[in-house]
């Protein structure tokens, strides 16, 4: 069991086919793979690399020898295709307008337009936006918002989930790869299992019974932890399970009952990956929707959180979030 958990998502292909794949790479490619291994810090799940890319275009990635591979993974950044000409043109135009950075306490029209667009296309009620460089930071922002508004501090999230690499976002994550060897993460991070309709420990097969058991686990934790600020999860678990609508309806009811935020991480699932523009549209509208990856068009790190924020609800002395990102209003990716 431990073995299968630690190998999850990594390079699990140890067969002769992996060796054959490596053997057919040319000398220049092999040299760059060696250079990469000796120069970059190694990361769990990302090292060793398998090949060297010369370009990425549309749905394809190309290696140095010109072979094209259909990229079915793409880290979730290329919903509009790699190097999408429209996106590239808009980003280049913005860079050339000499307004590449907007200092703190100023704003700019393209960033406001992008925020308005997000408010328009996300479910009703999500009407406040803040941008930041990456998904991990956007998750941290969302949790910070939940803590400020509820005045509470603990979090509940799912085993086997991934929400990023910051200390708060890694504390939410439910896999050892992301916090291993780091000592204590942000305290108060509780985890539950995501509903599993195919293989669950009780051998249950009826969806309602399965939901009831997983919801019972959440209730037990909430009853004993009144200082819970937020439940954070992907609407559809990337591990991967599609929950019932009832599951999220009930979870949202519990969040309301216990005065805590429901935060959906759609950094991977957002922007049309589940048959609707946002995965939450299959279920319920969260208090905060976190977006990333494809928001930057695969050209730059860019992410954001969109939330429902009743006026005057932030409990800090200034009534604002603690200072967060210098790029909260950056115009990158804010094409017309
Ligand atoms: C579901 C999910 N949340 C958060 C993140 C973190 O985003 P980033 O890598 O932009 O920090 C990722 C990254 O893969 C992710 O898949």
323 pLDDT above the threshold of 60: no
Q: Which of 296, 289, 276, 274 is nearest to 233 (CA)?
A: 289
Torsion region of 319: left, alpha or beta (phi above 0 gives left; psi -120 to 50 gives alpha): left
308 pLDDT above the threshold of 90: no
Angle at 334 between CA 236 and CA 302, to 5 degrees: 50
Kindly state if the Cβ of 296 falls inside 6 Å of ligand 1: no
> How many A from CA of 93 to the centre of ligand 1?
28
CATH topology of domain 85-307: 3.40.640
> How many A from CA of 297 to the centre of ligand 1?
15
Q: Is 32 helix (H, G, I), strand (E, B) or coil?
A: helix
Evaluate whether 257 touches 292 at the Cβ level (below 8 Å): no
Q: Which of 77, 163, 165, 194 to mutate to test the pocket of ligand 1 (most atoms within 8 A of CB)?
A: 163
Per-residue pLDDT at 299: 83
pTM for this predicted structure: 0.91
Segment 117-131, tens digit of pLDDT? 999 999 999 999 999
In this structure, the residue with its CA closest to atom 9 of ligand 1 is: 135
User: What percentage of the chain exceeds 70 in pLDDT?
Assistant: 88
Cis peptide before 93 (omega within 30 of 0): no
Least confident of 12-16, 108-112, 145-149, 194-198: 12-16
Kindly state if the Cβ of 268 falls inside 6 Å of ligand 1: yes
Report DSSP letters for 57-122, one per residue: EBTEEEETT--EEE-S-GGG--TT-BT-HHHHHHHHHHHHTT-S---TT---HHHHHHHHHHHHHS
Q: What residue ranges do the domains of the chain occupy? A: 16-76, 85-307
Q: Alpha-carbon distance 51 to 61, whole Å? A: 11
Extended strands (E) in 204-311: 228-233, 261-265, 288-291, 303-307
Per-residue pLDDT at 1: 39
CA distances from 326 to 41, 103, 136, 226 (A): 27, 7, 16, 34
Per-residue pLDDT at 2: 45
Q: Report, in angstroms and rounded to the nearest whole number, the Rg of the chain calculated over CA atoms.
A: 21
> How many A from CA of 32 to the centre of ligand 1?
27
Q: For the sheet containing 288-291, what is the strand order?
A: 128-132, 303-307, 288-291, 261-265, 228-233, 154-158, 189-192
Which ligand 1 atom is at minimum distance from the Cα of 164? 6
Segment 183-223, tens digit of pLDDT? 899 999 999 999 999 888 899 999 999 999 999 999 999 99
In this structure, the residue with its CA closest to atom 4 of ligand 1 is: 163
Kindly state if the Cβ of 134 falls inside 6 Å of ligand 1: yes
Q: Alpha-carbon distance 307 to 285, whole Å? A: 10
């Amino acid at each position: 069991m431990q073995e299968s958990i630690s190998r999850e998502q990594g390079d699990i292909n140890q067969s002769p086919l992996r060796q054959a794949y490596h053997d057919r790479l040319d000398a220049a490619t092999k040299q760059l793979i060696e250079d990469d291994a000796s120069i970059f810090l190694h990361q769990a799940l990302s090292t060793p690399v398998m090949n060297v890319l010369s370009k990425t275009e549309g749905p394809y990635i190309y290696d140095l020898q010109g072979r094209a591979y259909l990229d079915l993974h793409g880290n979730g950044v290329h919903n509009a295709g790699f190097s999408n000409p429209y996106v590239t043109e808009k980003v280049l135009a913005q860079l050339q307008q000499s307004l590449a950075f907007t200092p703190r306490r100023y704003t700019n029209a393209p960033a406001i337009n992008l925020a308005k667009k997000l408010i328009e296309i996300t479910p009703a009620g999500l009407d406040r936006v803040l941008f930041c460089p990456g998904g991990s930071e956007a998750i941290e922002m969302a949790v910070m918002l939940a803590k400020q508004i509820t005045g509470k501090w603990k979090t509940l999230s799912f085993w086997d989930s991934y929400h990023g690499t910051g200390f708060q976002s890694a504390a939410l994550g439910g896999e050892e790869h992301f916090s291993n060897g780091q000592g204590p993460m942000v305290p108060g991070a509780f985890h539950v299992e995501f509903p599993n309709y195919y293989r669950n420990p009780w051998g249950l097969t009826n969806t309602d019974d399965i939901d009831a058991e997983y919801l019972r686990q959440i209730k037990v934790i909430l009853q004993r932890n009144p200082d819970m600020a937020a439940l954070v999860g992907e609407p559809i678990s990337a591990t991967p399970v599609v929950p019932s609508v009832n599951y999220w309806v009930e979870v949202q009811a519990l969040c309301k009952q216990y005065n805590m935020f429901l935060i959906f991480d759609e950094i991977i699932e957002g922007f049309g990956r589940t048959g609707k523009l946002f995965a939450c549209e299959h279920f319920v509208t969260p208090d905060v929707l976190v977006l990333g990856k494809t928001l930057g068009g695969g050209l730059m790190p860019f992410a954001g959180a969109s939330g429902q924020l009743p006026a005057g609800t932030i409990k800090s002395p200034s009534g604002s979030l603690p200072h967060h990102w210098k790029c909260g209003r950056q115009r990158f990716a804010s094409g017309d």
